[in-house]
A and B are shown apart, each in its own frame.
Chain A
Amino acid sequence: MTSNLTHLTIAEARDGLTAGDFSAVELTTAHNTAVEQARDLNAFIVETPELALDGAKASDTRRAAGDARGAMDGIPIAMKDLFCTEGVQTTAGSHMLEGFVPEYESFVSRKLKEAGAVTVGKTNMDEYAMGSATLSSYYGNTINPWKATSGDNAGKDLVPGGSSGGSSSAIAARLALGATGTDTGGSIRQPASFTGIVGMKPTYGRCSRWGIVAFASSLDQAGPMTRTVRDGAIMLGSMAGHDPMDSTSTPMDVPDFESGLGKGVKGLRVGIPKEYTADGMPEEITTLWQQGADWLKDAGAEIVEVSLPHSKYALPTYYIVAPAEASSNLARYDGVRYGLRVEGDSLDDMYMNTRAEGFGEEVQRRVLIGTYVLSAGYYDAYYVKAQKVRSRIAGDFTAAFEDVDVLLAPTAPSPAFAIGQTFDDPVAMYLNDVFTVPASLAGLPAISVPAGMSNDGLPLGLQLISRAFDEVTLFQVADALEQAAGFELPIFGGEG
C-alpha cells in the first residue's frame, strides 16, 4: 500500500487524505523514500525529508482537528532551486550561491506552504535557469528516467529538459506529486515534454516573482509541473495570486482553475499556427501535432489554421531580451554581500575572480551577450529593435485570438536527447525553445500535455496557448487533449 502512494495523482491523494485512507505522514514518507532511492537521477540539489515530515505531521494534526486547508494540504511537492526558501539552501544551480540560505520565503513557495504542501527537496536546474537540458548546473546533470528503446540514443542517459529538469525528472520518476518550475522561454514546458508530464506556464503576472532568483524579469513566470492536467490546475490554485510586492503581478482574483475540466471542447475554436515548424523537425512531431488537432476536432472543436507571421523572429528576439535582463539581474552577484567571494588584489579583481569562478560557461555567455546588446552604440540596434519585434509577436497572438480560443503546437522540436549530444553547440541548444519562446515573449499562458511517443519510445508533448489570464480555458482544452491522448506514464525504477 505505502509504496503505491507515490503512484497517486494530487487529486487522488487529496481524496485519499480526506477519506482517511492514509495519512500525510505516510504519503510523505513514501516520497522521502522514493527520493532517496532515486538519487542516481540527481534530481535534487538538497533533500529536505525532515522538514517534509514535520509539515506532514502538522497537516495530519490539522486534518484530525477538522482544519484541513484544501487540496494541497499534506501533498508532497518538489521545489525548483530557483525559489528562495527560508532556512533551506537556495543555489539557482550555481556555484555562486552555494551555501546561500535565504532568510525569506518566496511568495509562491510560501503560498504552497500555507496551503499545507510539504516540500521534499529543492530540485536541480540549469544554472540561473539558463538552459534547456539541465546540463549547466554546478551540481551535476540530472538524468531523465526515460530511456530510448531504439535509435542512436537507446539505453543512454537522456536529459530531462531544462531549465526545470530536476522538477520534470522528479515528477516523471514519482518522487513528488507535483513540482514547481519556472518558465522564461520554455523551462517548464520543454522539460515536461521531455519527461512525459504536464508542465504549465501561467500568464505573466499570474504568479508573483517575489523571492524567485531572477533570470529575465519580463519573462520569468512560475508554474506547476504535474502528472495530470487536473493536478496542474489544483497546484496552480495554490501558487497564483496578486502580490503587492511584485509590481508586475496582476491584481486579479484567482479563478477555480479546475472549473473547466471535463467540459470538453465542443464549440471552441483551436488555431493551428502554420509557422510552427522547424528545419529538421522529425516527422513524428508533425504527425503527433496533426493527431492532436484530429483528437480535438473529434471532441467537437473547430480547427482553424492561423498565422503568427513574426514567429520566426521570436528566438532571436528572446536571445536579446532575456540575456539583456539577465546581465543586469546577475550583476548583484559580485562577491560583496553574500554567496561566493574569490579574493583579488583590488575590488575589480575580486569582482572578476568571483564572477569567473562563480558563473558557469552558459551564464557567462549570456551575461556577455546581454552586456553587449545594451552597450552604447548597440542598444538601439539590438535591445530597442528586439522590443519592437516583441510587440509585433504579441500583436500576432492578439490578432489570432480574435478568431480562436486556443492555439495548438508542438512543445519542442525533438524528444529528449542524450547527455552530451548537443551541448557543444549553444545555438543548437537554443533551438529547443523555438516553439515555447513566442508565448513567453507575449506573456501568454501555455501548457505542455504529454500526447504521444517518438519512434524511439520517448514521450512527446503538445503545447496549448490561450489568451492572457484565460487559464481556465487552457486547462479545459488540455484536459480534453489529455483524455484523447490517453498517455500512460510508465513506472520507472525497481519499486512499484
Chain B
Amino acid sequence: MSYIIQGETGDWEVVIGLEVHAQITSNSKLFSGSSTEFGAEPNTQVSMVDAAMPGMLPVLNEYCVEQAVKTGLGLKAQINLHSVFARKNYFYADLPQSYQISQFEFPTVGKGTVVLDMPDGTTRDIGIERLHMEQDAGKSMHDQDPKRSFIDLNRSGVALMEIVSDPDLRSPEEAGIYVRKIRSIVRYLGTCDGNMEQGSMRADVNVSVRKVGSDELNTRCEIKNVNSVRFIMQAIEAESQRQVEVWENGGEVVQETRLFDPANSETRTMRSKEFAHDYRYFPDPDLLPLNLTQAYVDAIAATLPELPDEKKERYMSEFGLSAYDAGVLVVERETGAYYETVVGQGDNKNRDAKLAANWVITNLFGALNAKSLSIEESPVSADQLGQLLDLMADDTINGRIAKDVFEDMVETSKNPADIVEDKGLKQVTDTGAIEAAIDDVIANNPGQVAEFKGGNEKIAGWFVGQVMKATQGKANPGMVNKLLKDKLSS
C-alpha cells in the first residue's frame, strides 16, 4: 500500500514517526497520591505536589513503573534496569512546577518492535525507539471568559508513557494501523485504556517528505497533540501535501511545531524554530535514579497475557483462520475472548471455528456497529451465539433461519433454542412434508416444469425458492435440492 504524492516534479513519499502519549492506567498520579479519575470537577484532584507548592517533593508511584515495564515487554522492547527522571524546564501557566518530570537520557524502555497487520494479510515491522515515563501538565481553558484563562490542574502530574516510533511509517493508513496496534497492545496489557476521546491517548506526529527512491531524511515538522486516529491520518495527508508544495515551489520546509485544524483539514504553525524551547534537561535531584533488578522485570514478564500477535498466530494455526480474520478478531482482547467462547473450548465442544469467525466478524460486528455497542455490551452472549451454531450443526435450523433467529436474539437477548421453539422455526427434515410441498409447487406451475424439462436447468433454483417459501424457510435446503431434482427429473 504505497502512498505516493504525485507532484509537478515527480513522485514523493512521506516519512512518518509518531510519539504516542498514553496515560498509564493507575489510580494515582506518577509522583503524588491524587486520583486520576476522568471527568471530576476542575481542580478537585490536586495535591500540594501537583500544585507545586513550596517544599513539596515528588515520590515515584511504583505501580506506574510496573505498568511502563509491562508495556515495554509488550512492545518486545529492551528494559533498561537503570533509568533516570529528568526535569524538562519551560514556563507555562498550566505547568505548576515550570518543569515537567520526564525521562530524557536514560528512559526505562529502549528499542522494540510493533508488528502492523496490513489489510492484505501481510505484516510490517515498525521500530520503537524508546518508551519513557513523564508527568502530564494541567489544562488551560481559554474559552471560559473573554479576558482570562482558567487552569484545571486535575491532569497535572498524571502518568504518561511516551512511545516513540522510528521514522518507519510511510502512509496515513500505516500510521492509523500503528496507533490502533499500540492501542490494542496497551489494552491487552491493561496499562492504558486507549481512550482517545478522554485524552488517554494522543500523538505528536512527525512528518517529512522525500522523492521516491531517496534515502535522505528531509526536515520534518511536528504536529502536536492529535487526538484521534482519523485526525492523525488527515493531519499526515494535509501536512505531507503542504510540504510537497513548499519544496516544489522552490521553498524550504522549516523545522517547526504545528497544530492540526480538523475543521479546515490543514496544519498551522504553532511555534517556529526560533521560538523553540531550550528545555534545559537535567536529572531531577529530588528523585533517585530508578534501578530495577532483572528478577523484577522477569516477574512482570511472567504476568504478561497472550498478546495480539501471538493470539493471531494461534488462531491461524489452531483454528485455520485467514490472516485477515485472525487479525480482526485479536484487535480487542474482549473480541478474542468472545470468539473463543463461541468456538467452544474443551472436550465436549467442537464447533466449526471458521463458521464461528464468520458469524462474529460479519453478523455480530454488524449488529454491534448498527447499535453502536461495544462487545461487552453485546445483547447476544458468546454462549448464546455458540448455541445458535449448535442449532445449525445439528440441523435444528438452517443458515437462513439462523440469521432470523440471530436478529431476534439481538433484539431480545433470548436463547436461540427458545426463539426457535416459540416461533416454530425448527427445520423441516421430514421427507414426506417436503415432498408434499414439492408436489404442490410442481402441480401449480406446469409452465416452469415444461421449461425445466426443455433444458433450462437454471430454473431449478426458482423451484427451490418456491418450496422454501411454502415451508416458511424451514425446510432443510439440502433435502429440498435433492428431492426436487429427483422429482423434476422423473
Contact = CB atoms under 8 A, between A and B. Distances in A.
B52 A337 contact: yes
Given A84-B54, A97-B54, A102-B54, A247 B286 contact: yes
B356 to A, nearest CB: 52
Contact of B288 (A244, A247, A331): A247
A247 B57 contact: yes
Interface string A77-97: 000000110000010100001
A84 B55 CA distance: 7
A214 interface: yes
Contacts of B52: 332, 337
Interface in A358-405: 371, 374-376, 379, 383
Contact of A245 (B54, B57, B151): B57
Contacts of A92: 54
A371 B87 CA distance: 13
Contacts of B93: 334, 336, 347
A331 B89 contact: yes
A464 interface: no
Contact of B91 (A246, A324, A351): A351
B97 A217 contact: no
Interface in B222-264: none
What bracket does the count of chain B residues touching chain A fall in?
20 to 34
A211 interface: yes
B285 A217 contact: yes
Nearest to B276: A376
Nearest to B149: A347
B392 interface: no
Interface string A190-217: 0000000000000000000111111011
A138 to B, nearest CB: 15
Interface in A218-270: 218, 244-248
Main DSSP-derived SS at the A contact region: loop
A374 B89 contact: yes
Nearest to B88: A328
Q: Which of B51, B52, B92 gathers most chain A CB within 10 Å?
A: B52
A325 interface: yes
B91 A214 contact: no
A213 B55 contact: yes
A47 to B, nearest CB: 21
B96 interface: yes
A331 B285 contact: no
Contact of A212 (B55, B97, B98, B287): B55
B59 A332 contact: no
Contacts of B92: 347
A97 B55 CA distance: 12
A331 B99 contact: yes
A104 interface: yes
B399 interface: no
B280 A218 contact: no
Contacts of B91: 331, 334, 348, 351
A492 interface: no
B59 to A, nearest CB: 6
B440 to A, nearest CB: 86
A103 B51 CA distance: 13
Interface in B74-132: 87, 89, 91-93, 96-99
A32 B280 CA distance: 47
A164 interface: no
A332 B97 contact: yes
Interface in B5-52: 48, 51-52
B274 to A, nearest CB: 14
A103 B96 contact: no
Contacts of A84: 53-55
Contacts of B319: none
A161 to B, nearest CB: 23
What bracket does the count of chain A residues touching chain B fall in?
35 or more
B278 interface: yes
Contact of B280 (A106, A209, A371): A371
Nearest to B49: A245
B58 interface: yes
B60 interface: yes
A383 B52 CA distance: 24
B57 A383 contact: no
A100 interface: yes
Contacts of A218: 285
A247 B89 contact: no
A64 B261 CA distance: 73
Nearest to B284: A217
Contact of A379 (B87, B282, B285): B282
A465 B102 CA distance: 36
Given A247-B58, A334-B98, A336-B93, A102 B53 contact: yes
Nearest to B51: A337
A280 to B, nearest CB: 33
B279 to A, nearest CB: 8
Nearest to A321: B285
Interface in B398-426: none
Nearest to B277: A376
Contact of A213 (B54, B87, B99): B54
Interface in A81-126: 83-84, 90, 92, 97, 100, 102-104, 106
A284 B282 CA distance: 42
A35 B359 CA distance: 86
Contacts of B57: 209-210, 245-247
Interface string B144-164: 000001010000000000000
Nearest to A211: B55
A210 B57 CA distance: 6
B287 A328 contact: no
Given A213-B54, A247-B288, A379 B280 contact: yes
Nearest to A96: B54
B189 to A, nearest CB: 27
Given A247-B59, A247-B60, A328-B87, A376 B288 contact: no
A331 B51 contact: no
Interface in A300-330: 324-325, 327-328
Interface string B452-465: 00000000000000
B96 A328 contact: no
A336 B156 CA distance: 14
Q: Which of B56, B278, B282, B287 gathers most chain A CB within 10 Å?
A: B282
Contacts of A383: 282
A217 B284 CA distance: 9
B135 to A, nearest CB: 14
A217 B54 contact: no
Contacts of A245: 57, 59
Contacts of A103: 48
A348 B278 CA distance: 16
Nearest to A375: B278
Contacts of A337: 51-52, 96
Nearest to B278: A376
B280 to A, nearest CB: 4
Nearest to B55: A211
Contacts of A327: 89, 280
B48 A374 contact: no
Nearest to A83: B55
Contact of A104 (B48, B89, B98, B286): B48
B96 A332 contact: yes
User: Which 9 A-B pairs rank lowest in CB-CB distance, beginning with the nearest?
Assistant: A331-B98, A217-B285, A374-B280, A218-B285, A211-B55, A332-B52, A213-B54, A84-B55, A376-B278
30 contacts: A84-B55, A90-B54, A92-B54, A102-B53, A102-B54, A104-B48, A209-B55, A210-B55, A210-B56, A211-B55, A217-B286, A245-B59, A246-B57, A247-B58, A247-B287, A328-B87, A328-B89, A328-B98, A332-B98, A334-B98, A336-B93, A336-B151, A337-B52, A351-B91, A374-B89, A374-B282, A375-B278, A375-B280, A376-B278, A379-B282
Given A247-B58, A248-B287, 11 more contacts: A83-B55, A90-B54, A211-B55, A214-B54, A217-B285, A248-B285, A327-B280, A337-B52, A374-B280, A376-B278, A379-B281
